[in-house]
Structure 1
Amino acid sequence: MEYAIEMKGITKTFPGVVANDNVDLQVAPQEVHALLGENGAGKSTLMSILFGAYNADSGTIKIDGKEVNIKDPNVATELGIGMVHQHFRLVHNYTVTENIVLGMEPRNKFGLLNIGAAEKRVAELSQQYGLQVDPKALIENITVGAQQRVEILKTLYRNANMIIFDEPTAVLTPQEIDELMEIIRRLKDEGKTVVLITHKLKEILAVADRCTVLRRGKYIGTVDVDSATEQSLAEMMVGRAVQFEIEKPPAKIGETALSIQNLSVADHLGHMKVKNLSIDVHKGEIVGIAGVDGNGQSELLYGLCGLLPVAEGQVLLDGKDITHTSIRHRVEAGLGHIPDDRQRHGLVSNFTISENCVLKDYYKAPYSNRYG
């Protein structure tokens, strides 16, 4: 059988880590092929090699039966390979359309950039696949979920025949995940070959034809999804029996830890996204905030953490008013924040792990003294 994608004996090492250890992958034409594994199993590294972002230390790649040397993403694009990245490759001060057409800008007969034609095409694709993005919006002003949809549109705009989705549902709501699954089915119906990188078993059972499992950088096996179950896939992924149901005792709810009273917060453009919201969170309690992206969840967190000013209302932490205090004061009072976009807001990527860990305490002993 001639495969659309065939990777043989792929090995890739980084300092102190073997990310891929003699891995094989065979993807049939016009199939949805899931690539399953825990975080750090080597899934994204393998697909980054296929897309030309990394070069393998050893191994071969064949596309439609022909051996190829994918030295960079431009070669992958020419071969009809597209990738929707887990960590977005977007220019934040460009518009949605400018990001999508970057490197493939349409031009008029005078050689000038025809941004109007590009915006029209992006709007058509957005409408066709139900991706709902504003072609003229700046990336820095749209939600993480919308940025993910822009990444999908970048691939669709280039008419790739083989599309890699790297953890595409990580930032999507359940409704958006269902819509994405329908998009993937539609791509298959149109003759596209899809590779879906995920560790979510339900997604694999819902949309994939076959599934290849990686564990700690090694190839474990490939199975037909029709004959697989969540239990069997989970056991292949982790190498042991997995218990899906865990008995938990009732939560022991304590006194109020965080009190949000009649809170209103505007976004960076001045639009009021949180309006007169009141919530009490008690010690020993987990409170979920549900909603489609863009309905005020980010602004609520930013208002609580001091990243956006509070227009009205009050925030009490352990009974003390922190509504208008500094971010440092809130951190010292015990308030933490794990951002939705850890690459953009949570980490300094060229710092070490140790340096990132002490960012909020760098001015304290033993990291600092009176001389700095």
Structure 2
Amino acid sequence: MKLELRGITKTFGSFVANDAIDLVVEPGEIHSLLGENGAGKSTLMNVLYGLYRPDGGQIVIDGEPVAFSDPGDAMDAGIGMVHQHFMLVPVFTVAENMVLGHEPTRGGLLDIAAARTLVREISARFGFDLDPDALVEDLPVGAQQRVEIIKALSRRAEVLVLDEPTAVLTPHETDELMAIMRQLRDEGTSIVFITHKLREVKAVSDRITVIRRGKVVGEADPSADQAELASLMVGRQVSLAQDKSEAAPGEVALEVTDLRVTDAAGTRTLDGVSFEVRHGEVLAVAGVQGNGQTELTEALLGLQETVHGSATLEGRELVGRSTKQVLDAGVGFVPEDRTHDALVPDFSVAENLVLDQHDRPPFGSALAMKLKAIRQNAERLIP
């Protein structure tokens, strides 16, 4: 399938998100859309996927103009999209999510056996380890993304849009995703890869289109150096050199001793973990997905029920404390699924910034929040 976007314009009030954008995606290529956050990349792809109606321009597939009134039209035309924030039903299984909207039936009822078979077939094709009967809410983020991919492929997508797919992945998972992208390309699927990460663009792209402030500002070859790509993204010269001084760690801040965690099934998910983190030090915890990293962070944050051992921050015990008590003790946490576990999408940015301190001065009390102070805090943190 050859895909063309001709003069696509999309506005929100007086704000022009896409300004007469032209884009051509050839059959069987990985075409990267590179740009800063807010450049208009996702908006353009949401127009392609039928989530937004364009205010100008047209979509052309194999030489024929098309118009999508909703994502169903786009999927019927062979367009698939994996959103940055996954469009899955957490309480449904992998198989149920994959066939949602095009369910196989038998005798007028959902043919769940056929759905399971389809999951296994597509998973085997790409080396995915997905249990068709696993609940999506129980899967780690990387596995949820794979569910989104097989969901799109089950509808025979010829063009697959990946919107910031590596934002929630570890480096190892990112490498695995790139291998999948190359396999899909080699099988004839076209991929539109939305990102702002230069290393990934250079590693996997066949062609690169750079978008800045809603406009296409240039095309580049993957052989272009990172400084050149960065300059196109931001509109000025960029220095990528890093001057890192030698670290000088101080006294021990966090001390973890013989930490053990048992899950609801009685399985030991952490067994005798001990380490120290000093002031001014970065400690990396590495491991293949599913080997206890999540349980470790949850144990330190008071999110695991059955925890034994000790974890002290500046001499204060964290094990056995509530999450609020741990946060009050000075622990911060950025989870792998920020939208689900760290933010309230329906709240404003200002309100999200004080989620863990809205009930104390200067932002409020147990009775009421001080909206002016909350707004001023946001203005200070976000110039």
TM range (shorter): over 0.9
Distance 2:221 2:324 in 1: 52
1:180 corresponds, among 155, 177, 180, to: 177
The question of whether the paired residues in 2 share the 8 Å contact of 1:263 and 1:310 is answered with no
Distance 1:59 1:290 in 2: 47
Secondary structure, aligned partner of 1:165:
strand
2:249 corresponds, among 226, 232, 253, to: 253
AA aligned to 2:197 is K
Distance 2:58 2:22 in 1: 9
Over 3 Å counting, the alpha-carbon distance change for 1:172 and 1:147 in structure 2 is same
Secondary structure, aligned partner of 1:35:
strand
Distance 1:330 1:247 in 2: 34
Within a 5 Å distance, the mapping from 1:23-172 to structure 2 comes to 23-108=21-106, 110-172=107-169
Over 3 Å counting, the alpha-carbon distance change for 1:215 and 1:370 in structure 2 is closer
Distance 1:127 1:46 in 2: 32
Deviations 1:64-92 (A, max 9, x none): 22111112100100110001111111111
* Structure 2 match to 1:8: 6
* Structure 1 position 299 matched with structure 2 position 295: yes
Deviations 1:147-191 (A, max 9, x none): 111111111111111111112223333343333222222222222
2:363 corresponds, among 332, 352, 367, to: 367
* Structure 2 match to 1:21: 19
AA aligned to 1:241 is Q
Q: Displacement of 1:128 after TM fit?
A: 0.8
* Structure 2 match to 1:242: 238
Secondary structure, aligned partner of 2:183:
helix
Secondary structure, aligned partner of 2:109:
coil
Secondary structure, aligned partner of 2:110:
coil
The question of whether the paired residues in 2 share the 8 Å contact of 1:7 and 1:61 is answered with yes
Distance 2:320 2:199 in 1: 43
Deviations 1:293-323 (A, max 9, x none): 2111111111111111352111101111121
Deviations 1:119-157 (A, max 9, x none): 011111101111221111111111111111111111111
Distance 2:354 2:332 in 1: 14
Distance 2:186 2:198 in 1: 22
Q: Displacement of 1:115 after TM fit?
A: 0.6
Within a 5 Å distance, the mapping from 1:192-231 to structure 2 comes to 192-225=189-222, 227-231=223-227
Over 3 Å counting, the alpha-carbon distance change for 1:281 and 1:15 in structure 2 is farther
* Structure 1 match to 2:371: none
AA aligned to 1:50 is L
Distance 1:148 1:369 in 2: 40
The question of whether the paired residues in 1 share the 8 Å contact of 2:83 and 2:165 is answered with yes
CA RMSD of aligned residues (A): 1.9
Q: Displacement of 1:290 after TM fit?
A: 1.3
Distance 1:162 1:371 in 2: 53
The question of whether the paired residues in 2 share the 8 Å contact of 1:91 and 1:139 is answered with yes
Identical columns (%): 50
Within a 5 Å distance, the mapping from 1:262-277 to structure 2 comes to 262-267=258-263, 269-277=265-273
Secondary structure, aligned partner of 1:11:
strand
The question of whether the paired residues in 2 share the 8 Å contact of 1:13 and 1:57 is answered with yes
Gap runs ≥5 in structure 2:
369-383
The question of whether the paired residues in 2 share the 8 Å contact of 1:266 and 1:272 is answered with yes
AA aligned to 2:154 is Y
Distance 1:124 1:283 in 2: 50
The question of whether the paired residues in 2 share the 8 Å contact of 1:310 and 1:323 is answered with no
Which piece of structure 1 moves more, 113-122 or 242-251? Answer: 242-251
AA aligned to 2:41 is K
Q: Displacement of 1:59 after TM fit?
A: 2.3
Distance 2:87 2:265 in 1: 24
Distance 2:181 2:332 in 1: 37
Distance 2:263 2:366 in 1: 38
Secondary structure, aligned partner of 1:362:
coil
Which piece of structure 1 moves more, 20-29 or 85-94? Answer: 20-29
Q: Displacement of 1:20 after TM fit?
A: 2.1
1:281 corresponds, among 277, 282, 288, to: 277
The question of whether the paired residues in 2 share the 8 Å contact of 1:8 and 1:25 is answered with yes
* Structure 1 position 233 matched with structure 2 position 229: yes
The question of whether the paired residues in 1 share the 8 Å contact of 2:34 and 2:211 is answered with yes
Gap runs ≥5 in structure 1:
none
Distance 2:136 2:146 in 1: 11
